[in-house]
Structure 1
């Protein structure tokens, strides 16, 4: 009986977490009449510092540029590669002058496996301008909360991977002043990402 109650409690907690993620994802994609989403967006974002292969990077280092921030991890089987491919195609489709004004950042929530060196190699596979970076767990959690993102480590005892990570998948568009301007949902096509960039240039 006790085991059943524990299982039920865990299922309820998981359901609540997933519902919170869905609600946050909706609110972070404000529609023209979604005043609640717009208000929430203004409360999110802010400066952060991460470790890349080249050393520490902070959001304020890129003041004067539009930053595309994506939060994920390199062992992600499909969601992260898809999003990074969209970011890469977006960069390729911008003209050379626009490219100089945009900085993509891939932040990993898996510092145990994603070293700065590995992140650099992985990010550059998609596009040379993408900076791969991570940090310690406390700082990662702070940044994830800052941007209204979500992740959860899932044990996979029967897998050689050991664990996977469930996470939200959005491209955070940060304007030249370092303010979060929009959170684009997973699968937003490159043409739409470019349109969002052009409103911020």
Structure 2
């Protein structure tokens, strides 16, 4: 009898935990944007060309990425898709679009390294980073995440686990849309044209 009562109590506690976890779970970023949560906003980063601010690009569509140059898969894939999406645009349209790739790994990613890395994908892309406090603030602003992961017996020492969204910022400087990593170049071209 006591065992049955304990089992019932455990079941009730577990169900309550599931309900609470479901209620308080983080909402997908797309839902947060749709509900009008104020994600996004201005930021100041360091590039090989000096300080860049999001507000410097008002009047243009900005493709904003968060990652790091040593990323083995997510970042090069996202930048390749973005470059193809830009190349689908006319020359005049391309002049109205820039990409900003913010590295969350400033210890390994110098501004010069980031400039070379991003220009490999497209001339309209800026590579930039900042001090840790600024990076953390921008990551929070955009509802993103990252964390350092130690790699035992690896020359790299660590990797960075990070979100894989592409942030589309409109000509007004406001976050307009958050695109999934699986977005293809044609879909991206269409989304950019909707903002031009």
Report the TM-score when normalising by structure 2.
0.84
* Rg comparison, structure with higher value: 2
Question: What secondary structure sits across from 2:35 in the alignment?
Answer: helix
Matched, 1:87 2:82: yes
Distance 1:166 1:115 in 2: 19
- Which residue, 92, 98, 101 being the options, matches 2:96? 101
2:121, 2:147 → 1: CA distance? Answer: 25
- TM superposition shift of 1:196: 0.9
Matched, 1:62 2:66: no
Match of 2:29? 28
Aligned-pair CA distance for 1:27: 2.3
- Following TM superposition, by how much is the alpha carbon of 1:49 offset from its aligned partner in structure 2, in angstroms? 0.4
Q: Which of 141, 156, 163 is residue 146 of structure 1 equivalent to?
A: 141
Alignment TM-score, normalising by the size of structure 1: 0.82
Q: Hey, what's the Cα distance between the residues in 2 that align with 1:128 and 1:187?
A: 23
Deviation >3 Å, runs of 4+: none
CA distance in 2, matches of 1:136, 1:102: 26
- TM-superposed CA distance for 1:37, in Å, is 4.5
Contact 2:33–2:39 under 8 Å retained in 1: no
RMSD between aligned residues? 1.5
The whole-number CA distance in structure 2 between the counterparts of 1:116 and 1:93 is 28
